[in-house]
Amino acid sequence: MRTPPFVTLLAVTLTALVGCVPNSITLQFDGRPTRIDERTVARDGASRDKVAQIDLTGVITATSTSPFGNAALLDDFSAMLGKAEQDPAVKAVLIHINSPGGSVAASETLAEMIETFKQRSKKPVVVSMGEVAASGGYYTAITADHIVAQPATITGSIGVIVPTINVSDGLSRLGITSRSVVSGPNKDIANPMQPANEDHMQLIQGIVDEFYLDFRTRVTSARPDIQNPDTTLDGRVVTGRTALELGLVDELGGIRDAHAAAKRLAGLNSAQLVKYYRGGPPPLTPYASASAQVPQTDQPGVLDAVLNWKDRLAMSGATDPGFYYLWLPPGALSID
């Protein structure tokens, strides 16, 4: 069998290159940039000192939210903190939060990252709240040395939610029944296809109470001057203006006010604000941001809407059922 000419040419080319290239080649097919870049978005003098801005946008999750590939939010955030830690010109970090929160585990991981960064680098961290910094977004914010909120920021929602739905009654009316074979009475906990079981709900409530106690303890430890904690920390959302009155934040203002606070904490008279980003066009201002696409569902009919409840949950940002430090805006889980 005759070897095609292009195969022969390829073999000869690779053989010729063996002596002048590394013995391994990495091919990246997803097109996602691997490098964290930075862009100066504000400057108040000629100083070479920097305040590094890292954006926390969207739902806090360990799964992919990037339009450039399959990296998770936590992966990018960790890489950006690492860059800020290793750059001696970076004297402080400014985290701009625009997030309704996210999963309990992902929120805890993010908070731990920031606390570890502070311990190792000794660099101050300031949070600037955008439109929303609620629940897990606030859980993240309290790791900072100073919190700046806009008057119209929606924040608070300190608590835990487990979105559930039960469709057993509706399905039974259609002649559809479900039965699981389980190894124990609690293995099939809160199965939406089975009639609601109060014992299961109590088990879930116990976990929710445990997570809430941890959340509340962290808040009261970080913010000891909170007014009326029994009501302030009952899950309600408040505006940034009210949050200042209640002791949930330190100051009202925007990113530039947070930049000024970061300089003050770092002992700087002037510093450039550099914004970290991965992929996409370079940001022109501190406010530039990319948001992930939110899944939508256009399935008609009540039954289709019920069976696509995960899509409905995803519309509020939560991609899977579970335990969340998450603010669900009114109507987020409604079925049209």
- 131: part of which helix (H) or strand (E)? strand 125-134
Phi/psi of residue 111, nearest 5 degrees: -60, -40
The pLDDT, as a whole number, for residue 313 is: 47
Active site residue ranges: 135, 187
> Is residue 13 included in any domain, yes or no?
no
The pLDDT, as a whole number, for residue 20 is: 44
> Is residue 169 included in any domain, yes or no?
yes
The pLDDT, as a whole number, for residue 85 is: 98
> Is residue 10 included in any domain, yes or no?
no
> Is residue 1 included in any domain, yes or no?
no
* Domain at 210, CATH number: 3.90.226.10
More confident residue, 310 or 282: 282
The pLDDT, as a whole number, for residue 100 is: 92
The pLDDT, as a whole number, for residue 318 is: 46
Helix, strand, coil % in the chain, rounded to nearest 5:
35, 20, 45
The pLDDT, as a whole number, for residue 298 is: 41
The pLDDT, as a whole number, for residue 46 is: 85
Whether 177 has a pLDDT exceeding 80, the answer reads no
> Is residue 20 included in any domain, yes or no?
no
Q: Enumerate residues 6+ apart whose C-beta is below 8 A from 216.
A: 158, 229, 233
Q: Which residues make beta-bridge pairs with 36?
A: none
Answer whether 191's CB lies under 8 Å from 201's CB: no
Whether 69 has a pLDDT exceeding 70, the answer reads no
* pLDDT (mean) for 297-307: 37
> Is residue 317 included in any domain, yes or no?
yes
Whether 34 has a pLDDT exceeding 90, the answer reads no
Most confidently modeled of 4-8, 10-14, 173-177, 232-236? Answer: 232-236
Q: Which domain range does residue 322 map to?
A: 30-326
95: left (phi over 0), alpha (psi -120 to 50) or beta: beta
Specify the number of domains making up the chain.
Answer: 1
Mean pLDDT over the full length of the chain: 80
Output the pTM of the full model.
0.78
pLDDT digits (tens, 9 = 90+) for 235-264: 999 999 999 999 999 999 999 999 999 999
Structure tokens at 210: 């445990």
Phi/psi of residue 142, nearest 5 degrees: -70, -5
Torsion, Cα of 38, 43, 45, 47 (10° steps): -20
Answer whether 155's CB lies under 8 Å from 133's CB: yes
Q: Which residues make beta-bridge pairs with 127?
A: 95, 147
Grouping H, G, I as helix, E, B as strand and the rest as coil, residue 202 is helix
Q: How far is CA 211 from the centre of its chain?
A: 18
Q: For residue 246, what is the DSSP state?
A: H
What percent of the chain stands above pLDDT 70?
Answer: 75
> Is residue 25 included in any domain, yes or no?
no
> Is residue 210 included in any domain, yes or no?
yes
Answer whether 73's CB lies under 8 Å from 60's CB: yes
- 265: part of which helix (H) or strand (E)? helix 255-266
pLDDT digits (tens, 9 = 90+) for 101-142: 989 999 999 999 999 999 999 999 999 999 999 999 999 999
The total number of residues written for the chain in this structure: 336
The number of helix segments (H) and strand segments (E) in the chain equals 11, 11
